[in-house]
């Protein structure tokens, strides 16, 4: 199947978000976010999420055009309730408030509670870094069965609980570092993409229902049998647990032990820091650049073309996919068209939009 143009995928996502009732601004935020995830190479968090969003909308677990409610506000700490609002807009608004606070106070902590899926966490790191802020995000995933086994376990106890850190660089330049990752060895969506393409997942990323290693994603994706492994043995497993505790438990959001509606909820604790307050003057940004250059200058290991910093693979993918289009497999596209049809949209019109013929 030929690659699809970013503008076509954006039009497709916009049409579906409008059909579930999002106002134009919200639909545009969702569409931009999903297509950006595809462009950066994270198909697991791109337009392939639309069938899930339509399903949870039809369950009453995704609420369009929700306003954030302030639960607590002590200046440096702001707690916001999203009430299953459309995650990409809820998180973008929450981070914007955190940036504003950090600009006046030097640092701010924003707890976003009970949002519908907020997508690629790197988007919020980029949002903060573009405003000159450092970003740390601890996120949990709740409201569905656990799918990640903590270190030493033969069964799942957690979601894929992502962590993200972003450091700004010069104005107008991309972040100096954008570390954005699931705390499972691979994101669940990557197992879904592999299943849709009929491919195995890499060794060490999955266990079957007996706790034995497997590379077949189908039982996990189709029936939640078995579990993804937490990355980095006991150390990554510790970070995954921290995301649950700091991202959701302490601020009072929905955790993996709460009753679930088989939808998807994210809670995010975002820490924003104005690096100007470190009073390092020009030395701070210069030292960041020097360290980045030092890392990049390492002799590449056999089979590696060059050493990259976190965030660079995504920028390379973005450039390539803007030029060449986004590869979407037939099954994923069919599922998206089916989801659109369930909202009363015409399949043929959606397919034409996706091809950029809108
Ligand atoms: P990944 O493994 O592809 O990348 C993780 C990090 O490693 C990135 O920062 C990337 O830049 C860096 N990286 C990758 N290859 C590199 C290389 N060769 N050299 C240097 N750095 C490199 O990402 P992932 O863990 O599969 O996560 C995918 C996406 O899923 C993320 O955007 C994450 O936010 C998202 N996610 C969201 C949720 C949710 O519930 N909202 C849950 C889990 C994951």
**Closest to 151 in 3D by CA, of 37, 216, 219, 229:** 229
This prediction has a pTM of 0.96
Mean pLDDT of the chain, nearest integer: 96
Q: Which atom number of ligand 1 is nearest to the Cα of residue 266?
A: 40
Place of tokens 């079957």: 208
Asked if residue 265 lies in contact with residue 114, where contact means CB atoms within 8 angstroms, the answer is yes
Which two three-digit tokens encode residue 216?
Answer: 């077949």
Domains defined along the chain, listed by start: 1-58+310-358 (1.10.1530.10), 61-184+230-276 (3.30.1370.60)
Residues within 6 Å of ligand 1 by CB: 42, 44-45, 117-122, 141, 160, 162, 164, 178-182, 186-187, 190, 266, 308, 310-311, 313-314
pLDDT tens, position by position, 65-120: 999 999 999 999 999 999 999 999 999 999 999 999 999 999 999 999 999 999 99
Map residue 214 onto helix, strand or coil: strand
Percent of the chain with pLDDT over 70: 100
Render pLDDT for 202-220 as a digit per residue (tens, 0 to 9): 999 999 999 999 999 999 9
- Ligand 1 atom having least distance to the Cα of 307: 19
Q: Are 271 and 253 within 8 A, CB to CB?
A: no
DSSP string computed for 31-80: HHHHHHHHHTT-GGGSGGGHHHHHHHHHTT--BTTPPPEEEEE-SSEEEE
* For residue 1, pLDDT beyond 90: no
pLDDT digits (tens, 9 = 90+) for 123-149: 999 999 999 999 999 999 999 999 999
Q: Given this model, what pLDDT does residue 341 score?
A: 98
């Amino acid at each position: 199947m030929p690659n699809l143009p970013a503008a076509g995928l954006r039009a497709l996502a916009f049409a579906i978000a409008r059909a579930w009732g999002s106002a134009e601004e919200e639909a545009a935020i969702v569409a931009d976010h999903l297509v950006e995830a595809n462009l950066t190479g994270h198909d697991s968090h791109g337009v392939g999420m639309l069938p899930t969003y339509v399903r949870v909308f039809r369950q009453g677990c995704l609420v369009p055009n929700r306003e954030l409610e302030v639960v607590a506000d002590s200046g440096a700490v702001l707690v916001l309730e999203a009430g299953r609002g459309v995650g990409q807009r809820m998180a973008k608004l929450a981070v914007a408030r955190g940036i504003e606070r950090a600009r006046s106070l030097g640092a701010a902590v924003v707890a976003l509670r009970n949002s519908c899926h907020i997508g690629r966490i790197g988007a919020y790191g980029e949002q903060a870094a573009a405003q000159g802020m450092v970003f740390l995000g601890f996120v949990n995933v709740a409201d569905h069965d656990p799918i990640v086994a903590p270190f030493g376990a033969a069964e799942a106890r957690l979601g894929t609980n992502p962590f993200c850190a972003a450091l700004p660089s010069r104005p107008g330049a991309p972040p100096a570092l954008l570390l954005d990752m699931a705390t499972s060895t691979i994101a669940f969506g990557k197992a879904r993409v592999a299943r849709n393409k009929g491919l195995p997942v890499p060794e060490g990323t999955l266990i079957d229902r007996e706790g034995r290693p497997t590379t077949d994603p189908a039982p996990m994706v189709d029936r939640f049998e078995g579990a993804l492994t937490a990355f980095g043995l006991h150390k990554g497993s510790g970070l995954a647990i921290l995301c649950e505790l700091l991202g959701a438990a302490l601020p009072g959001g929905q955790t993996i032990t709460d009753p679930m509606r088989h939808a998807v909820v994210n809670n995010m604790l975002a820490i924003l820091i104005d690096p100007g307050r470190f009073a390092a003057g020009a030395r701070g940004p210069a030292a960041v650049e020097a360290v980045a250059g030092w890392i990049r200058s390492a002799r590449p290991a056999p089979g590696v073309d060059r050493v990259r910093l976190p965030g660079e693979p995504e920028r390379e993918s973005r450039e390539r996919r803007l030029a060449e289009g986004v590869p979407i497999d037939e099954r994923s596209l069919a599922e998206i068209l089916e989801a659109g049809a369930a909202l009363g949209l015409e399949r043929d019109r959606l397919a034409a939009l996706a091809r950029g013929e809108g």
